[in-house]
Amino acid sequence: MAKRPISDVVAEDGVAVKPELSRKKSKKDKIEKSKKSATASAPEVNGLAQVGEANGRSADDAEDNEKLSKAERKAARRARREGKEATGAKKAETEAAIAEPRAAAGDGDEDVAKAARKAARKAEKKRLQEAATNPEPAAESGEYQENRELAQLPQSEIDAFLTKNVMTIDDPKPAARKLRPITNFKYLPIDDAQRAPFAKFSAPTPIQAATWPFLLSGRDMVGVAETGSGKTLAFGVPCVRSISSLPKDKQRGIKAVIVSPTRELAVQIYDQLVALATPAGLQVVCVYGGVPKDPQVAACRKAHIVVATPGRLNDLIGDGSADLSKADYVVLDEADRMLDKGFEEAIRQIISQTPRKRQTLMFTATWPPSVRELASTFMNSPVKITIGDNVSGELRANVRIKQLVEVVDPRAKEQRLLQLLKQYQSGKNKDDRILVFCLYKKEAVRIENFIRMKGFRVGGIHGDLSQEKRSASLAAFKEGQVPLLVATDVAARGLDIPAVKLVINVTFPLTAEDYVHRIGRTGRAGKEGLAITLFTEHDKGLSGSLINVLKAANQPVPEDLMKFGTTVKKKGHDAYGAFYKDVDSTKQATKITFE
């Protein structure tokens, strides 16, 4: 499918897809019925029956476990063999190291000098043997083999990288060997053409470096890293490699599916995936609602990778146009959003169509406890990788964003907004990009008109606008023709708009997670950013969560905000409700924190 402008994209984004609204009658109802009967016999997790995932599991589980333990035994044997070889090489090196100084010390002992030379030769021979038996990984071999140069880096260099970037790796499986972060693009097991899209970057970001070895090894994963830290390529690169490393006849059909909560984000991911997949000869399709289905149906027939919003994807599954039975690489981007609210059922439907033996990944900047257990029902012993000083997975904003909070009278918000715009968009800064967030669509319309009346160039993006207008506003803002954009939370997650200088929250969002995502539209890819939030007494229920976010990022907490209270209300899952029990699913995991 050709690259699709955002203006082609219409539909359900930003609003949770209600399964009963999007569902096609006939065939889909049958699917639903069979799921309901399965639910009755499915095991319950926290009072919620696992649909699809649990179906027919027991019959295949024994076989699977058998395969798994065979694979694990094989990995353990290989680890032992590598260990022996390493010990042998080390021994020879040690002999040489011991002998050399003695000889150099000139103790006159000819035998010692001879022994040193012999040991050195032995060590060198061993190294050469190792290099010969451990060639660079063949591109067509699916198994991940660490690049030789990476394997030979001194451990101190690896430790310094891990410490500098404060990485936490929770791995519930005992590691056969320690995987080193891929600290340079040249260590990726892909060919040069596939490496071309990275030419503009100097090095992988921490989330990319840390996740790639695990993902290339086929592991399930939860990846948590700040907004704008390059998570798309973190899951995109192994996605393409997982397909391109297969023999050609095994590459046919939809092999990977990436689900995103909004259509604009889906299109953005699609663009990045096309850049990665094209050099590998793979096709990507982007499916979303509100536009004619036929071109998407045709593209699905040839596609290897599908990037989708849940509603339209379920539509295509329901009418038999999208066959996910071979899609064994599944990504939920903005995973907490995908598992929240009305998306959950749509996600269950999608995942139930994918093979039971698959790699499932969840990526996000915010990972609230309310979705963690539900997430684990879709995954198999996932590795959890968190970047940043955030071991317990608390809510964290990008620390390069300066956050200012002003407590104001609700009636004074518009005037204060005007002052801020005059202050930050004047003189040489008149073209600086500013993103203004509102909570409600009607509010966004009012604020946009107000700003325009005051003489500013402004566009809008929210659910009440036609798709054409919405896409035009976003494109004009991205390209710099209109420096101001008024948006609802439809633009809060994932959108990568270049050089947004300032985010202004005219009205606080419904959750502190949304706040973190909203302000994350600035300060991306290592840059600095600024966010100004107008907070009123109407928002006081969220003062405690906001204070925590500010404190964790070393930002000033205004006295007026403290007055609203510091209590944090526990957020219940929409399905599990307020009685949701937070279970530490990583309890058994080996937790390694580098700091």
Ligand X SMILES: Nc1ncnc2c1ncn2[C@@H]1O[C@H](COP(=O)(O)OP(=O)(O)OP(=O)(O)O)[C@@H](O)[C@H]1O
Q: List interacting residues with ligand X (CB under 6 A).
A: 201, 204-205, 208, 227-233, 365, 494, 496, 520, 524-525
Task: Give whichever of 96 and 474 is closer to ligand X, judged by the CB atom.
Answer: 474
Q: 52 or 189, CB closer to ligand X?
A: 189
Whole-number minimum distance, CB 524 to ligand X, in Å? 5
User: How far apart are CB 493 and ligand X at their closest, in Å?
Assistant: 6
Nearer to ligand X, 369 or 520 (CB): 520
Work out how close the CB of 231 gets to ligand X at its nearest, in angstroms, rounded to a whole number. Answer: 4
Of 53 and 333, the one with the shorter C-beta distance to ligand X is 333
Tell me the chain's radius of gyration from C-alpha atoms. Answer: 27
Q: What is the distance in angstroms between the CA of the first residue and the CA of the last residue of the chain?
A: 45
Of 180, 179, 232, give the one whose Cα is nearest residue 205.
232
Measured between alpha carbons, how far is 291 from 288 in angstroms, rounded to an integer? 7
Residue closer to ligand X by CB (options 208, 425) is 208
Q: Smallest gap, in angstroms, from Cβ of residue 138 to ligand X?
A: 25
The Cα–Cα gap between 298 and 1 comes to 9
Which of 582, 214, 592 lies closest to 381, judged by CA? 214
Q: Of 198 and 329, which CB lies nearer to ligand X in the complex structure?
A: 198
110: helix, coil or strand?
helix
CB of residue 523 to ligand X, shortest distance in Å = 10
Distance in angstroms (rounded) separating the CA atoms of residues 328 and 354: 6
Q: Whole-number minimum distance, CB 268 to ligand X, in Å?
A: 7
Minimum CB separation of residue 201 from ligand X in Å reads 4
Q: How far is CA 450 from CA 409, 443, 455, 501, 508, in A?
A: 18, 10, 9, 21, 19
Query: What is the closest distance, in whole angstroms, from the C-beta atom of residue 229 to ligand X in the complex?
Result: 4
Q: Which residues pair with 593 in a beta bridge?
A: 168
Question: Which CB atom, from 525 or from 562, has the smaller least distance to ligand X?
Answer: 525
- Comparing CB distances to ligand X, the nearer of 396 and 524 is 524
CA distances from 35 to 10, 17, 23, 55, 369 (A): 30, 19, 14, 8, 27
Minimum Å distance from CB 528 to ligand X? 14
Q: What ranges make up the beta strands (E) of 228-346?
A: 256-259, 284-287, 305-308, 329-333
Which secondary structure element, helix H or strand E, spans residue 224, and what is its range? strand 221-224
Q: Is 371 exposed, middle or buried (0-12, 13-18, 19+ CB in 10 A)?
A: buried
The count of other CB atoms within 10 Å of the CB of residue 201 is 13
Nearer to ligand X by Cβ, of 86 and 525: the residue is 525
Lateral strand order in the sheet of 590-594:
284-287, 305-308, 256-259, 329-333, 359-364, 221-224, 383-387, 167-171, 590-594
Q: Which is nearer to ligand X, 229 or 353 (CB)?
A: 229
Half-sphere exposure of 468 (CA within 13 A, CB side): 0
Taking the C-alpha atoms of residue 500 and residue 496, their distance in angstroms, rounded to an integer, is: 9
Q: Which among 464, 549, 470, 465 is positioned nearest to 505, based on CA atoms? A: 549
What is the smallest separation between the CB atom of 257 and ligand X, expressed in angstroms? Answer: 17
CB of 525 to ligand X, least distance (A): 3
Work out the angle between the directed axes of helices 343-352 and 310-318 (0-180°, nearest 10).
40
> Measured from the CB atom, is 38 or 371 closer to ligand X?
371
